[in-house]
C-alpha cells in the first residue's frame, strides 16, 4: 500500500475566462489557481480591470517583505471586509501609525514574557482535554480547535476563560462574522473603484458593532482595574500600560478595542486552523502520533521548561503550517514603479504573496506535497525554512504572535496526544479551502479515543 498523501485541492485548468475565474474565486481562492503556480517564480494576472502579480521566488518574497517593505505597504483591499470590525488595528494600518502601534504591542510578546503567559495556555489545554473526554467518538475537530484557541486568547489576554459570559459571546459572534466575511475576497485582488458601494452581507456591520461593544466592556473594566492597582499581570495589562518609547503615549480606550479585536481574530482563527490540520495529519500518519504521545510524557512537568522537550511536536506543527498555512495568501500594493524578473510592475499593482504555493513549490522543496516532519533536520528543509517558509510572514510586519503560537501549537497537540488516539473517519477526507484561514470544506472529522 502506498502511503496516504495529505489532502490538496484540485487546481483549475490552465486557461479559464475571467468570468469563470471570478466565479471560482468566490468559491475558494486555492482551487481557483492553476497548477503551474506550484512551479512558477512569478505570475501576472492582467485583466481589463486590474493587474496583479503573484510573487513566488524567494529573492522576490524577501524584497517585498524584508528589504523594501515600505515600497510595498499593506494593500487597503484587504481592509475592505475587515474595517467594520478592526477599525485602525495594527493589522490594517501602514507607515508611522503602524510603527507606533508595533512599538507598544511588541514588548508584550517578547521571548521572556512567554514564560509568564504559559500557565494560562496550559490551563486552556487542560480544559480541552476535559472537554474531549466527554466528547469521544467522531468529533468535528475544527470546532474544538477554535474553542481551545479562543480560550487561550481570553486567558492570556484578559485572564478569563472562554466560559466567561462576555468571552463566550465574543467567540460566537466572531464565528458568525467570519462566515459572512472571508478575509481575502475578490476585492483583495481587484481594484474596485472608490465610488462603488461596498456590500456587506446583512448583519455583518451590526455584528461587528456588537463585538466591539463587548470588547469595550472588557477594556473599560481593565482600565479601571489598572487605575485601582488591581489588574492581573496578563497581556492586556501589559499592552495597556506600555508607553511608546518615542512619544511616551499609550493606547487610548478606543485604540485598545481595535487591537484586542485583531489579537482575538488573528490569534485564534490561525492557531485553530493549524491545530486542526496537525491533528488530522497525525491521524493519517499514526506512527508520528506514537512518537508525539511518548514525547508528551514530558508534560508531567507542568513548568514552562517542559516545552523545550516537545521537539517532535514542534516539527509536526511546523509541517502542518507548511502544508496548510493558515494565512494562505497576503496582499501588498506597489507604492512606486518597480521591476521584477525583467517585468515592469506599475504603481498600484496588487502584489500577492502565497505561502500556500511557496510552501509546496516543486522547484524548492523535496517531496513538496508529502508529510515529513523530519525534513526540518535535512539540508533541504533547513534551506527552505530560511528561504521559502513564511507561515507567519517575515520582515518588520512579521506576526508578533509567532513565538506564542509555536508554544501554544506544540503544547496543545502534545497534550491531546498524551491522552487520546485520533483516527481518520472513512469517507470524510477533508478538502482544504480558504475561508478566513485555511479550513476544510466540510469540517475535519476525527475519531477520538482515550488512551
Ligand atoms: C499559527 C498561528 C498564527 C499564524 C499562522 C499567524 C500568521 C500571521 C501572518 C501570516 C501575519 C501577516 C499577515 C499579513 O501581513 O497580511 C500575521 C499578522 C499578525 N498576527 Fe499572527 N499568526 C498566528 C498567531 C497569532 C497570535 C497567537 C497572535 C496574537 C496573540 C497574532 C497576532 C497577529 C497580529 C497582531 C498581526 C498583525 C501584525 C502587523 O501587521 O504588523 N497572530 N499573523
pLDDT in tens, 129-176: 999 999 889 999 999 999 999 999 999 999 999 999 999 999 988 887
Confidence band, pLDDT 50/70/90 cuts, at residue 249: very high
Cα–Cα separations (whole angstroms), residue 64 to 68, 173, 300, 326: 6, 35, 44, 20
pLDDT in tens, 386-419: 999 999 999 999 999 999 999 999 999 999 999 9
**Pocket perturbation via mutation, ligand 1, pick of 157, 270, 396 by most ligand atoms within 8 A of CB:** 270
Q: 3-class DSSP state for residue 424?
A: strand
Q: Which three cell numbers stand for residue 103?
A: 512599538
Query: Which stretches of 285-363 are DSSP H helices?
Result: 286-295, 311-323, 355-358
Q: Is the CB of 405 under 6 A from ligand 1?
A: yes
- Measured from the CA of 262, which atom of ligand 1 is nearest? 35
Q: Is the CB of 263 under 6 A from ligand 1?
A: yes
Confidence band, pLDDT 50/70/90 cuts, at residue 51: confident
Q: Whose CA is nearest to atom 37 of ligand 1?
A: 91
Phi, psi of 152 (to 5 degrees): -60, -45
Q: Is the CB of 270 under 6 A from ligand 1?
A: yes
Q: Is the CB of 267 under 6 A from ligand 1?
A: yes
Percent of the chain exceeding pLDDT 90 equals: 69
pLDDT in tens, 331-345: 899 999 999 999 999
Please compute the mean of the pLDDT values over residues 45-66 and round it to a whole number. 87
**Pocket perturbation via mutation, ligand 1, pick of 86, 92, 401, 413 by most ligand atoms within 8 A of CB:** 401
What's the rounded Cα separation, in Å, for the pair 412 and 428?
Answer: 24
Q: Is the CB of 84 under 6 A from ligand 1?
A: no
Q: Is the CB of 183 under 6 A from ligand 1?
A: no
Please compute the mean of the pLDDT values over residues 262-283 and round it to a whole number. 93
Cα–Cα separations (whole angstroms), residue 103 to 39, 110, 254, 291, 422: 38, 12, 18, 40, 42
Residue 202 in this model has a pLDDT that exceeds 80? no
Q: Which residue has the cell 468529533?
A: 139
Burial letters 316-330, b for 16+ CB under 10 A, else e: bbbbbbbbbbbbbbb
Q: Is the CB of 272 under 6 A from ligand 1?
A: no
Strands 137-140 and 445-450: antiparallel
Please compute the mean of the pLDDT values over residues 268-281 and round it to a whole number. 95
State the DSSP string of 173-242: HHHHHHHHS-SS-HHHHS---TTSPPP--TTHHHHHHHHHHHHHHHHHHHHHHHHTT---SSHHHHHHH-
Cα–Cα separations (whole angstroms), residue 246 to 94, 96, 241: 17, 12, 15
State the DSSP string of 59-98: HHHHIIIII-GGGSPBPTTTHHHHHHHHTT-TTT--HHHH
What's the pTM value of the predicted model, to 2 decimals?
A: 0.93
Percent of the chain exceeding pLDDT 70 equals: 87
Q: Whose CA is nearest to atom 14 of ligand 1?
A: 330
The rounded mean pLDDT for the chain is 89
Q: Is the CB of 393 under 6 A from ligand 1?
A: yes
Amino acid at each position: 500500500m502506498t502511503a496516504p498523501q495529505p489532502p490538496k485541492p484540485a487546481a483549475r485548468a490552465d486557461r479559464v475566462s475571467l468570468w469563470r475565474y471570478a466565479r471560482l474565486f468566490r468559491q475558494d481562492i486555492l482551487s481557483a489557481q492553476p497548477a503551474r503556480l506550484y512551479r512558477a517564480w512569478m505570475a501576472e494576472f492582467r485583466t481589463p480591470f486590474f493587474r496583479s502579480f503573484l510573487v513566488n521566488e524567494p529573492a522576490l518574497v524577501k524584497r517585498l517583505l524584508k528589504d523594501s517593505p515600505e515600497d510595498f505597504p499593506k494593500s487597503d483591499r484587504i481592509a475592505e471586509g475587515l474595517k467594520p470590525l478592526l477599525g485602525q488595528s495594527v493589522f490594517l494600518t501602514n507607515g508611522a501609525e503602524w510603527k507606533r502601534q508595533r512599538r507598544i504591542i511588541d514588548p508584550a510578546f517578547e521571548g521572556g514574557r512567554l514564560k509568564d503567559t504559559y500557565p494560562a495556555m496550559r490551563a486552556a489545554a487542560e480544559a480541552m482535554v476535559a472537554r474531549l473526554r466527554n466528547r469521544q467518538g467522531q468529533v468535528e475537530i475544527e470546532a474544538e480547535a477554535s474553542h481551545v484557541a479562543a480560550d487561550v486568547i481570553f486567558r492570556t489576554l484578559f485572564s478569563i476563560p472562554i466560559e466567561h459570559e462576555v468571552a463566550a459571546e465574543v467567540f460566537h459572534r466572531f464565528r458568525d462574522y467570519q462566515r459572512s466575511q472571508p478575509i481575502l475576497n475578490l476585492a483583495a485582488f481587484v481594484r474596485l473603484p472608490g465610488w462603488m458601494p461596498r456590500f456587506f452581507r446583512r448583519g455583518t456591520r451590526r455584528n461587528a458593532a456588537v463585538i466591539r461593544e463587548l470588547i469595550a466592556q472588557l477594556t473599560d473594566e481593565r482600565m479601571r482595574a489598572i487605575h485601582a492597582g488591581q489588574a492581573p499581570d496578563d497581556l492586556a495589562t501589559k499592552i495597556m500600560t506600555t508607553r511608546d518609547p518615542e512619544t511616551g503615549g499609550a493606547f487610548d480606550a478606543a485604540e485598545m478595542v481595535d487591537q484586542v479585536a485583531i489579537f482575538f481574530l488573528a490569534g485564534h482563527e490561525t492557531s485553530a486552523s493549524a491545530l486542526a490540520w496537525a491533528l488530522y495529519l497525525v491521524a493519517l500518519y499514526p506512527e508520528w502520533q506514537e512518537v508525539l504521545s511518548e514525547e508528551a510524557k514530558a508534560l508531567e512537568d507542568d513548568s514552562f521548561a517542559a516545552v523545550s522537550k516537545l521537539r517532535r511536536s514542534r516539527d509536526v506543527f511546523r509541517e502542518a503550517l507548511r502544508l496548510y498555512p493558515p494565512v494562505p495568501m497576503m496582499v501588498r500594493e506597489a507604492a512606486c514603479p518597480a521591476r521584477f524578473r525583467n517585468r515592469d510592475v506599475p504603481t498600484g499593482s496588487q502584489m500577492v504573496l502565497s505561502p500556500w504555493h511557496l510552501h509546496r513549490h516543486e522547484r524548492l522543496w523535496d517531496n513538496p506535497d508529502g508529510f515529513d516532519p523530519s525534513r526540518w533536520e535535512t539540508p533541504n528543509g533547513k534551506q527552505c525554512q530560511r528561504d521559502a517558509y513564511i507561515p507567519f510572514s517575515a520582515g518588520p510586519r512579521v506576526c508578533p504572535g509567532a513565538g506564542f503560537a509555536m508554544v501554544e501549537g506544540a503544547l496543545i497537540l502534545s497534550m491531546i496526544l498524551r491522552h487520546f488516539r485520533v483516527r481518520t473517519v472513512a469517507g470524510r477526507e477533508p478538502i482544504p479551502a480558504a475561508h478566513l484561514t485555511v479550513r476544510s470544506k466540510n469540517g475535519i472529522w476525527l475519531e477520538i479515543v482515550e488512551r
